[in-house]
A and B are shown apart, each in its own frame.
Chain A
Amino acid sequence: MYERYGSTMYGVVRRYVRDAATAEDLLHDGFVTLFTHIDEYRGAGSFEGWCRRIFVNTALSHFRKKSPLNSADDVEAFTASRSVEPVALEEMSAKEIKKCIDELPDGYKTIFNLHAVEGYPYPEIADILNISEATVRSQYLRARKKLAEIMNLVYHEGDFG
């Protein structure tokens, strides 16, 4: 099971934390949880989806200590940037996009990963993170704008500036 899902789940936690050491700890914790509670899986939905939820929860537990959304509020407002051109998104690899997401503040990154990548709806994210749905929406829109700006910077100038 580790051979099958290890690299995928490591990719999941790496999207949430930039630091490799922290990501390794989360991967470790997630698998211990998974193996200990394997009998909890009742067959509803795919097993991989069930595994992802465990690892996402593990990553979120890490952030709860840091109140990541506060750091998102601290990010200074930026003017509306041009949206990401279709060709940029098509030509950038997953690794490059992931590096752009790494540049987001933790709060933005968390909400963006939960909604855009994992597919959690706003109400569920609000429940998970113990914030209001309105906050989730506004944070997500800011995250998306910020990410678009970063991706444009990387695509056109080759660096994060």
Chain B
Amino acid sequence: MTGKNFDNKIRGKLYEYREQPPADMFSRIEKSLGGAGAPVLSAKGGSRGRLNGFFRYAAAAAIVTAGILFSLRYAGLRDPGKSPATAEQIINNVRTDKVDAGELILLEEERIASRTSNLADIIREVISEDLGGNTVLSPSGAGIAATGAEKAVIESNTGTRQETLVPAGNSSSGAPREKRKLDRSREIEDYWATFYRTIAQEESRGRKGKKLAASLYGGNFGTGTGNVTYDNLAVLSANGMLKQDVSLTLPGNGPKMSRSAIIGKDIEANLRHRMPISVGISVGYPLSDRVSLLSGINYSYLYSSGSHTLENAPNSRRKVIREQHYLGIPLGVSYSFYSNRVLNLYVRGGGMIEKAVNVREREIYETPNSGTESSETIRVKGFQPSIDASLGANISIVKGVGLYVEPGVAYYFENTTQKTSYRTDNPTNFTVRVGVRFNL
């Protein structure tokens, strides 16, 4: 195996090598950032003059404070008669000052990046960036006043010096140290917040596909019917299956009787509510990596039928079929508690407001020889509110497409304006929803 090949294979194996850090590492980092400040990077003493040990701290303190002093209120302006101090003098003069550890690290990075350990060079480099290429020199302990144009001694890159005015409001020259630190902290925080938000958004899009997820679903297919059999007409009456002027005989064969008159008649009757069937479109908008806001449109079909035998005609029946069509707008929230490339587990909860858009009742008289049928459309006022909760599992089958199933429970609030149905007999019922989800 050639050396290059060996290197490549080693790199392929180790570049992504990971180890789990200790559980308390992040809290240690947080403590350092919020407390005494960042640690000091070590430096090696050597022929290029790098500092170590105690002098590293002192020299770093001098560098940082010197850089700040050039743009702060300790003005050489106040005593323009004094000859400007060199960077080395400033370092010596502020050696005992406390150091901002964050700025210390900045300068250490500068040193690494600039491949130099000459502290004076670093000071000039840092300061010149603040003042557009010129270096402001001032006596020890001096700086530039925070307000108004102030005189300053400027040393240009060519080494010539002149007295000039530093304009007020120059953020690098006029701002107090505390404000500069605060601005800088805010800039760092804003940058970090923006960056992290971008990362989180990218991760969210990567994991869920895109911003929106749409799904087609159906619910409660083949889950059975709610059969109820009664042996009298009272239940049909209670469910509105018997009209006021119902007849127990074939139409035209006898007078119509009032509903109250026929209750209690020895007539076989039954009533059946089928479990509702729902289909719909759902749209999910992710609010975060785990939480999504859900809405969409839902269609439900409710079927009820009741029948009873006719008096003196046991082989004949009167049948009433009620079909209700509801449209509803769901609103809910889902929370994903487990997710990987293939499987996403979540809980969903919310509610729905439905409106009966079409209710038809058909009345059928069936005899061995003939039958008659009539129908009417009933207007149902009001809305049907409900709440529901479910557990969901979404399995990704191809990129951007997944199949999901959501078993759950729903509760339909009592509402006398609605026609009776499976929901009115069973306000709390078990639901199963299956669907296809697309990441848009």
| Contact surface of A with B, Cβ cutoff 8 Å | 1-2, 4, 6-8, 10-12, 14-15, 24, 27-29, 31-33, 35-41, 47, 57-58, 61-62, 64-65, 67, 83-86, 89-90, 92-95, 97-98, 101, 115-117, 119, 127-128, 130, 141, 144, 148
Contact = CB atoms under 8 A, between A and B. Distances in A.
B132 interface: no
A84 B21 CA distance: 31
Given A32-B33, A128-B112, 19 more contacts: A1-B199, A2-B29, A4-B199, A8-B18, A11-B17, A11-B18, A14-B17, A24-B22, A28-B25, A31-B25, A32-B29, A33-B41, A35-B192, A38-B195, A57-B41, A64-B42, A93-B13, A116-B7, A141-B3
A35 B43 CA distance: 21
Given A65-B42, A89-B6, A36 B22 contact: no
B38 A116 contact: no
A36 B1 contact: no
Interface string B169-200: 00000000000000000011001100110010
A118 to B, nearest CB: 8
A33 B15 CA distance: 22
B17 A98 contact: yes
A127 B48 CA distance: 12
A37 B192 contact: no
B102 interface: yes
A36 B102 contact: yes
B21 A10 contact: yes
Nearest to A4: B199
Interface string B16-48: 111111100110110011000011011110101
B52 interface: yes
Do most interface residues of chain A lie in helix, strand or loop, or is the interface mixed? Answer: helix
4 closest Cβ contacts across the A-B interface?
A: A64-B44, A32-B38, A7-B18, A11-B17
A119 B42 contact: no
Given A2-B29, A32-B39, A97-B13, A86 B19 contact: no
B11 interface: yes
Contacts of B3: 141, 144
B181 to A, nearest CB: 12
Contacts of B16: 8, 11, 94
B85 to A, nearest CB: 29
Contacts of B48: 130
B106 interface: yes
A46 B215 CA distance: 35
B341 interface: no
B41 A119 contact: no
A33 B38 contact: yes
A94 B1 contact: no
29 contacts: A8-B16, A10-B21, A11-B19, A12-B17, A28-B39, A32-B29, A32-B33, A32-B105, A36-B33, A36-B188, A38-B191, A38-B195, A39-B191, A39-B192, A57-B41, A61-B41, A62-B42, A64-B43, A64-B44, A84-B1, A89-B10, A94-B16, A95-B17, A97-B10, A115-B7, A116-B10, A117-B15, A141-B3, A148-B6
A148 B41 CA distance: 33
Given A8-B18, A83-B1, A116-B7, A39 B188 contact: yes
Given A32-B32, A36-B188, A6 B25 contact: yes
A148 B3 CA distance: 11
B414 interface: no
Contacts of B43: 61, 64
Contacts of A58: 41
Interface of B: 1, 3, 6-7, 9-11, 13-22, 25-26, 28-29, 32-33, 38-39, 41-44, 46, 48, 50, 52, 102, 105-106, 108-109, 112, 115, 187-188, 191-192, 195-196, 199
B29 A39 contact: no
B192 A86 contact: no
A31 B192 CA distance: 13
B33 A144 contact: no
A115 B10 CA distance: 11
A2 B14 CA distance: 20
Contacts of B25: 2, 6, 24, 27-28, 31
A35 B33 CA distance: 8
A123 to B, nearest CB: 11
Contact of B52 (A38, A47, A65): A65
A141 B6 CA distance: 12
Given A61-B41, A117-B10, A10 B195 contact: no
Contacts of A10: 18-21
Contacts of B21: 6-7, 10, 24, 27
Given A28-B32, A28-B39, A61-B43, A6 B11 contact: no
Contact of A37 (B13, B22, B52, B105): B105
Contacts of A61: 41-43, 108
Contacts of A32: 29, 32-33, 38-39, 105
Contacts of A130: 44, 46, 48
B13 A94 contact: yes
Contacts of B29: 2, 28, 31-32, 35
A86 B1 contact: yes
Contact of A97 (B14, B18, B46): B14
A18 B60 CA distance: 30
A38 B41 contact: no
A94 B14 contact: yes
